[in-house]
Structure 1
Amino acid sequence: MEDTLKRLNIFVLEDDPDISHFLNLFLSDYFNKVTVKTDNRFNYSDFDNIDIFLLDIEIPFDSGYEVCKRIKTIYPNKPVVFLTAHSQLDDKIKGLELGDDFIPKPFEPLELIARLKNLLKDRYGDFVYLDELIVDKRAHVILDSVTRTKIPLSETENKIFFYLYDNMNIRLSREQIINHVWGVEGHHGQTNSLNVYINSLRNKVDIEGKLIQTIYGYGYKLSDLKE
């Protein structure tokens, strides 16, 4: 999780200058990028690269609750954590209903990190970085590692990629791949189809041709680029 955490980006909304400064310095030791704002002067469209949000409730010109609602509308699967001096039961319940965790101030920094890690592990724990891709093993989804956006694959392309992925660095024959994707009964006449799908898959996830390697006269192999 430590290696994954250093690849993730966090957005902090905190109007107290001392706390915001501390969080910026402290979280920078754990995350790839820390973005700190003290009010609502930001664009929600800029959050594609953000992986987790840490929000105060009382901020100038807005409410952390309203910010959370907008974030969840656009990015329903991205975790939101409230870090706030509002510690009444009603506040906690509302925060947990809207977001994913609620941490009252004053807070212990190491506890904050532990709770962020738990959320991220649950949400991103099955993510694997593969060259310029993020592979979500649980959901069978591939993301662009820069934009964090989903790369659209057809059902057949998805089956081929994850069959290669599940057999990383293993040479798979064309017959093995065809049998897995189309079944033994659909084997005949699918060689050309496989070639077409491999080319389409490369255009989407492997433009430079480093990941999906052709084993001439045999089949294909997905490489982790470490060999």
Structure 2
Amino acid sequence: MRKTKILYVEDEPNLGQIVYDSLILKGFDTIWETDGAKVMSKFNDFTPDVCVLDIMLPNVDGYQLCEHIRNKYPTIPIIFLTAKTETPDLVKGFEAGGTDYIRKPFSIEELLVRIQNQINMHGLSENSSRTQEKRIKPDKIKLSTYNYYPKRYELVTPSKTINLSNREGELLKLLTETGSKVVERKDILLNVWGDDSYFNSRTLDVYIKKLRNYFKEDSNIEIQTLRGKGYLFLVK
């Protein structure tokens, strides 16, 4: 059976060794790199299923590294490990393409749960419901004058093509696949972020605002907020 591949990037040697050893013991095929500038060369021989990135790295920091990875591999899950706790820093991580974050200090148990959650959410496990979803995901979703290509997270507007982040793509998929039904806020948070914490709830507001901005070229498309419930994606 193929092992899940983890790319782990951390420059602090003691923490790095502990996490690396723990991932190996849990059965993950893992490589550990300490220099952000050396990471992309690893992808030639080792294309990971999940990336776990520290933010404060030498030469190329975690934000830049995430953007490089995301440009080449649009759907790969990327978990940030961060001592930065201010909301703008965490939002910056998500905007760079991160799909989850863990605040330092953290437990190995929490990291393993977060990795498994990303595996399940992104259909990397044969037994996960996401695997079945990806098998039947349509190539194109027509949204009035827009076209959304969920397999490559591309939104084609009347004037340009927008390359969505992983999380933007998953959010748009949830909003559009339900037809005219309300998508509850909690369901979005659990499916796209993995938990419904206060911070993730505020981050969801940022992502909804971004999606609305993407659709501003077509007044027939609207994302309605139903306070206390969730969102409704309407194509008039």
Q: TM bucket by the smaller chain?
A: 0.5 to 0.7
User: Which runs of no fewer than 5 residues in structure 2 stay unpaired?
Assistant: 137-236
**1:1-227 aligned within 5 A:** 7-42=3-38, 44=40, 46-47=42-43, 49-98=47-96, 99-125=98-124, 127=126, 136-140=131-135
* Change in CA separation of 1:123 and 1:58 when aligned onto 2, cut-off 3 Å: same
Paired positions, count: 132
For residues 107 and 56 of structure 2, the distance between their equivalents in structure 1, rounded to whole angstroms, comes to 20
CA distance in structure 2 between the aligned counterparts of 1:125 and 1:34, rounded to whole angstroms: 16
Is residue 84–residue 105 contact of structure 1 (8 Å, CA) maintained in 2? yes
SS in 2 for 1:113: helix
Checking the alignment, whether the CA contact within 8 Å between 2:123 and 2:134 is kept in structure 1 is no
Q: Give the equivalent residue in structure 1 for 2:221.
A: none
Post-superposition Cα deviations, 1:185-207, rounded to whole Å, max 9, x if no partner, equal xxxxxxxxxxxxxxxxxxxxxxx
Aligned partners of 2:14 and 2:71: how far apart in 1?
Answer: 30
Q: Which runs of 5+ in 1 are unaligned?
A: 129-135, 142-227
Question: In 1, distance between residues paired with 2:57 and 2:39?
Answer: 16
The structure number with the bigger radius of gyration is 1
Cα drift, residue 44 of structure 1: 2.1
Task: Tell me the TM-score normalized by structure 2.
Answer: 0.51
Q: Secondary structure at the match of 2:122?
A: helix
Amino acid at match of 2:103: P
Question: Cα distance, 1:45 vs. partner?
Answer: 5.1
Scaled by the length of structure 1, the TM-score of the pair is 0.52
CA RMSD of aligned residues (A): 2.5
The one-letter amino acid paired with 1:63 is D
2:87, 2:12 → 1: CA distance? 23
